[in-house]
């Protein structure tokens, strides 16, 4: 079955940076667009970013534009989210999901706090 | 951005009861709507896509309907394992936007 495994979360100070990864397996990664979706503690789901299969199309939610960068390495079947200028409000569980939201990873937790 | 208004935000229901959750979009979303179930500590699970298409393996007691701006998720006969939080998502336009969620609890 399709597998998506996020990693890279942890505790970061405000203003710091972090890079999340999502390792994909058991499907043809290079054929699918991918999303990052986050969920703050005890809150709802919030879409963060999208990248098309060949990286030609990228979208971000307004609150992360200029601070987050989504990218992918198709030969390595890996999706990334480079996050800079982190704020307390970026604290959340971060999920990667396949283009049609049919498969999600288990999430990785990012905490931004001093 | 398209706003998704989901209701109710929480509800209690009995086993065997018919349950309906609704989502209203701020504009026509052309049936580009999915429904997800999330249980504590777990990632979301997709139930329905394109408003009314059941994902493989999802029990047939779940169904989706609607068009234009108005959509609903129905559980025909509630089972214990259906407790959790349900979210709708529109993906007609970027940015995709989620409803605020419906927490479904056992009465």
Q: What is the pLDDT of residues B54-104, one digit of tens each?
A: 999 999 999 999 999 999 999 999 999 999 999 999 999 999 999 999 999
User: What's the pLDDT score for residue A112?
Assistant: 98
Q: pLDDT class for A23, splitting at 50, 70, 90? A: very high
Residue A31 pLDDT: 97
**Amino acid A36: pLDDT:** 98
Q: What token pair was written down for B53? A: 């298409």
Handedness of CA B84, B86, B104, B100 (dihedral sign): positive
Measured in degrees and rounded to the nearest 5, phi and psi for residue A62 equal: -60, -35
Q: Say whether residue A50 is in contact with chain B using an 8 A CB cutoff.
A: yes
Judging by beta carbons within 10 Å of its beta carbon (0-12, 13-18, 19+), is residue B63 exposed, middle or buried?
middle
Q: What is the pLDDT of residue A30?
A: 98
Could you read off the pLDDT of A30-87 as tens digits, one per residue? 999 999 999 999 999 999 999 999 999 999 999 999 999 999 999 999 999 999 999 9
- State the pLDDT at residue A25: 97
**Residues contacting residue A83 through CB under 8 Å, at least 6 positions apart:** A17, A18, A19, A20, A64, A67, A68, A90, A110
**pLDDT given for residue A76 in this prediction:** 98
Which residues on B lie below 8 Å from A51 (Cβ)? Answer: none
Computed over every residue of chain B, the mean pLDDT equals 97
Averaged pLDDT for residues B41-56: 96
**What pLDDT sits at residue B2?**
97
Would the CB atoms of B46 and A50 count as touching at under 8 Å?
no
- pLDDT for position B43: 96
Other Cβ atoms closer than 10 A to B97: 22
A99 touches B at CB < 8 Å: no
Q: Is A44 on the interface with B (CB under 8 A)?
A: yes
């Amino acid at each position: 079955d399709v597998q998506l495994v996020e990693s890279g979360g942890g505790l970061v100070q405000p203003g710091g940076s972090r890079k999340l990864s999502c390792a994909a397996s058991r499907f043809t990664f290079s054929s699918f667009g991918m999303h990052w979706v986050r969920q703050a503690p005890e809150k709802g789901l919030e879409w963060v970013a999208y990248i098309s299969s060949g990286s030609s199309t990228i979208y971000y939610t307004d609150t992360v534009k200029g601070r987050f960068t989504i990218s992918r390495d198709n030969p390595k079947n890996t999706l990334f989210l480079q996050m800079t200028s982190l704020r307390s409000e970026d604290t959340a569980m971060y999920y990667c999901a396949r283009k049609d939201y049919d498969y999600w990873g288990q999430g990785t937790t990012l905490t931004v706090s001093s | 951005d398209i706003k998704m208004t989901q209701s109710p935000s929480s509800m209690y229901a009995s086993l065997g009861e018919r349950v309906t959750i609704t989502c209203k979009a701020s504009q026509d979303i052309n049936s580009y709507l999915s429904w997800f179930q999330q249980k504590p500590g777990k990632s979301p699970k997709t139930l329905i896509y394109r408003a009314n298409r059941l994902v493989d393996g999802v029990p047939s007691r779940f169904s989706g309907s609607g068009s234009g701006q108005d959509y609903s998720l129905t559980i025909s006969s509630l089972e214990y394992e259906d407790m959790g939080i349900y979210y709708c998502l529109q993906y007609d336009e970027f940015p995709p936007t989620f409803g605020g969620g419906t927490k479904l609890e056992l009465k």
